[in-house]
Amino acid sequence: MQVLGLRRLFHWRHLRTVLQVPLLIVSVAMILDGLLGPSLAPKNLATTLSWVHFRGALVLVMLCAGNFFCLACPFMLVRNAARRFFRPRWNWPQKLRNKWLAVGLFALILFCYEEFSLWSSPRWTAWLIVAYFLAVLVVDGLFKHASFCKFVCPIGQFNFVASTISPLEVKVRDLEVCDSCGTKDCIRGRRVLGPDVVVIQRGCELALFQPLKVGNMDCTFCLDCVHACPHDNIGILSRLPASELMVDPRRSGIGRFSQRTDLAALAIVFSFGALLNAFGMVSPVYALERWLAGILHANSEAPVLAVLFALFLVVEPAVLLGLAARLTQIWGGSQRALVPLAVRYAYGLVPLGFGMWLAHYSFHFLTGLYTAVPVTQSAAARWGWSVFGSPRWTWLGVPMRYVQPLEIGFLVLGLAGSLLVIHQLAERDCAERPMRAFAPWATVAVVLWLAAMWMMFQPMDMRGTFLAG
């Protein structure tokens, strides 16, 4: 599919900067308002834009298009500016060339969100954004290429996994053109030869060689490869959402999904974390926390949360995936060992996890859609700009009665996607009796979906701490 004008737009070399600059300005405004503005979260730019608008817009853009938030990432704008002065000297350590660190950081962010009630704290939210800028500068100031994006950034990892569901992908138009290409600029960068070789357009910093790239995993949509390709043979093209989860070829810069335990762990934290994050917002979580606190004799939330996180992100996946893998061995006659089986099918839960993130974040986004207006008006007035008028605090968003059916739709879509992926994997594994391999994993997906549906019909309850009552 070709959309007139878009091809030219994506080839415009300043597109990324034009998208990044407004987001950088917004980020700075969020930091300033978070640190200096009102402490009440609904009145502050940092909390409102981070936890209502950014997250919601991100998952909706993922659903409808692709990883355009990484394309517009303001952290990379600052990094690129800093790299004009400081050239990184080292390669990212070999032992850390995997997703384990990022999985840990992703889980840590989810933990901090609950522990420090980030949704209700403009100060903590502002410091988190500051920490992000500093982390980018330190990591990419020391290490070459896009080490931060590929191996560290928790938001990036979320985007990589979520974008496997997206309908758009950066990919090669015609592989035969690549076969005859002698320069491989998409990965090496476009160079001018002379006494000193000068790179005038860098290639992929995330080590994704376009002809062998499959899907959106690890792709930041930075468009470096699009600009570097001398044959205009790379574009943002449409595809079947989640199709990359149904196949297991050797992927450039990644390898085979089925051999990447760290990637599977990321997919598991993504999928089960979606349920955990939503569970933190409904009434039953406080009863569970109080019960756990009684058992642990805990007076603070941290140890209780640690146990909850261990239960939801480690024990529950281990039990469910372990059982499903064992049943696949028994019923399906699979010759694979338990862990490789669990790794292979863990990716099948990604659509369901994404459906849960989508239902959760789009709820906040849509029900609080217009709150960006009064919060911006209020912040502008505090900074002496009264051009926007007095804040219209009654501006909210789409009524809940319209949003809830949409949430159910997202969850059903997620379940359907997971069942489809699992079925495709089962057909490839057990061509003669795919239903026997399909059934255990489909059961896991349905159990998780039922849990998500149950959660959605629980009364919402947003407290900073369960100790409040």
* Residues 6+ positions from 204 with CB-CB distance below 8 Å: 186, 187, 210, 224, 225, 253
Contact between 462 and another protein by CB under 8 A: the answer reads yes
Q: Which residues on adjacent β-strands are paired with residue 168?
A: 238
**Cβ closest to another protein, residue 333 vs residue 464:** 464
By CB under 8 A, the residues from 277 to 296 that bind another protein are: 283
The token pair that represents 391 in the structure block: 């804040």
Q: In angstroms, rounded to a whole number, what is the distance separating the alpha carbons of residues 348 and 427?
A: 13
**What's the maximum distance between 2 C-alpha atoms anywhere in the chain?**
72
Q: Which is nearer to another protein, 122 or 273 (CB)?
A: 122
Nearer to another protein, 48 or 258 (CB): 48
Q: Please, which of residues 134-193 interact with another protein by CB under 8 A?
A: none
- Segment near another protein (CB under 8 A), from 50-58, 154-162, 258-266, 291-299? 50-58
Q: Is 322 in the site for another protein (CB under 8 A)?
A: no
- The phi-psi region of residue 196 (left if phi > 0; otherwise alpha if psi is between -120 and 50; otherwise beta) is beta
Indicate the residue among 344 and 364 with the shorter CB distance to another protein: 364
When the beta carbons of 331 and 370 are compared against another protein, the nearer one is: 370
Q: Which of 24, 29, 30, 41 binds another protein (CB under 8 A)?
A: 41
Among 74, 273, 348, 368, binds another protein (CB under 8 A): 368
Name the residue nearer to another protein (CB basis): 52 or 62: 52
Nearest approach in angstroms of CB 391 to another protein is 11
Q: How many C-beta atoms surround the C-beta of residue 412 within 10 A?
A: 14
Q: Any contact of residue 394 with another protein (CB under 8 A)?
A: yes
The CB-based long-range contact list for 81-86 (8 Å cut-off, 24+ gap) reads 82/137, 82/140, 82/141, 83/140, 83/141, 86/141
Query: Please, which residue, 227 or 364, has the CB nearer to another protein?
Result: 364
Q: Are 18 and 74 in contact (CB under 8 A)?
A: no
Detail the DSSP E strand segments found in 40-189: 168-172
d(CA 407, CA 224): 36
- What's the Cα-to-Cα distance from 267 to each of 11, 158, 163, 297, 422, rounded to whole Å? 32, 9, 12, 33, 14
Please identify which residue in 43, 260, 360, 423 interacts with another protein, judged by CB under 8 A: 43
Could you tell me the two tokens for 392? 């219209």
φ, ψ dihedrals at 173, nearest 5°: -80, -45
User: Binding residue for another protein (CB under 8 A) from 367, 376, 378, 418?
Assistant: 367
Angle at 241 between CA 415 and CA 327, to 5 degrees: 45
In the complex with another protein, the residue whose CB is nearer, 52 or 455, is 52
Is there binding between residue 44 and another protein (CB under 8 A)? Answer: yes
**468 touching another protein, by CB under 8 A:** yes
DSSP state of 90: B
Report 111-130 residues binding another protein (CB under 8 A): 117, 119-120
- Cβ atoms of 386 and 415 closer than 8 Å: no
Residue 461 binds another protein (CB under 8 A): yes
Does the protein bind another protein through residue 422 (CB under 8 A)? no
Residue 404 near another protein by CB under 8 A: no
| Interacting span for another protein (CB under 8 A) from 106-114, 333-341, 366-374, 444-452 | 366-374
CA distance 437 to 433: 7
Q: Which residues between 346 and 365 bind another protein (CB under 8 A)?
A: 364-365
Per CB under 8 A, does 459 bind another protein?
Answer: yes
Q: Give the one residue of 32, 36, 288, 396 binding another protein; rule: CB under 8 A.
A: 396
Q: Which run of H or of E encompasses 191? A: strand 190-192
- 91 vs 283, which CB is nearer to another protein? 283
Interaction of residue 40 with another protein, rule CB under 8 A: yes
The contact set with another protein (CB under 8 A) reads: 40-44, 47-48, 51-53, 117, 119-120, 283, 364-365, 367-368, 371, 375, 393-394, 396-397, 459-464, 468-469
